[in-house]
A and B are shown apart, each in its own frame.
Chain A
Amino acid sequence: MKRVIFLMLITSLSAFSQGIEESFLFANSLYENQQYQNAVETYKRVLFFDSDDIYGPQSYKKMADCLYETGEFAEASYYYDLAYFTHSGTEQADITLQKISCHLLLREYNLAQVELFNLPDSLKENQTEQKVFYEAMLAFATEDFEMAEELFKDIAPDTLAVHELFRENDKINKLSPKKAKILSIILPGLGQFYAGDVKNGLNSLLLTGGLLYLGAASAVKTSILDASISVLPWFQRYYSGGYNKAEAIAEAKIKERRFKVFNELLDEVEN
Chain B
Amino acid sequence: MKYTGIVFLLLSLLLCGNSMAQSSGKRTNLYRNMLEDGNIKKTYWQAQNNQNELQTAFSGLFLFYKTFFSSQDLTVCTFTPSCSEYGILAIKSHGMIKGGLMTMDRLTRCNGLSPQNYEFDKKLMLLKDDPTREPLVPVVASYK
Q: A266-B31, A266-B32 are in contact. Are A200 and B40 (CB under 8 A)?
A: no
Q: When the two chains form their complex, are residues A242 and B34 in contact, meaning their CB atoms are under 8 A apart?
A: no
**How many residues of chain A get a CB closer than 8 Å to chain B's CBs?**
36
A-B pairs with beta carbons under 8 A, tally: 73
Q: When the two chains form their complex, are residues B73 and A237 in contact, meaning their CB atoms are under 8 A apart?
A: yes
Q: How large is the interface on B (under 10, 10 to 19, 20 to 34, 35 or more residues)?
A: 20 to 34
Nearest CB of A to B19, in Å: 14
Cβ-defined partner of A266 (8 Å) among B28, B37, B71, B72? B28
The B33-87 residues at the A interface (CB cut-off 8 A) are 34-40, 68-69, 71-74, 76
Contacts of B27 in A (CB 8 A): 133, 270
Nearest CB of A to B34, in Å: 6
Q: A207-B68, A207-B69, A269-B28 are in contact. Are A244 and B34 (CB under 8 A)?
A: no
**Dominant secondary structure at the B interface:** loop
Q: When the two chains form their complex, are residues B72 and A263 in contact, meaning their CB atoms are under 8 A apart?
A: no
Q: Mark A228-264, 1 if CB is under 8 A from B, else 0.
A: 0000000001101110110011011111111100110
Q: Mark A51-95, 1 if CB is under 8 A from B, else 0.
A: 000000000000000000000000000000000000000000000
Nearest CB of B to A105, in Å: 6
- Asked if A203 is an interface residue, CB under 8 A from chain B, the answer is yes
Q: Which residue of B lies closest to A255 (CB)?
A: B38
Q: When the two chains form their complex, are residues A238 and B39 in contact, meaning their CB atoms are under 8 A apart?
A: no
Q: When the two chains form their complex, are residues B32 and A207 in contact, meaning their CB atoms are under 8 A apart?
A: no
Q: A203-B68, A237-B74, A242-B72 are in contact. Are A259 and B40 (CB under 8 A)?
A: no
Contacts of B68 in A (CB 8 A): 203, 207
- Asked if A137 is an interface residue, CB under 8 A from chain B, the answer is yes
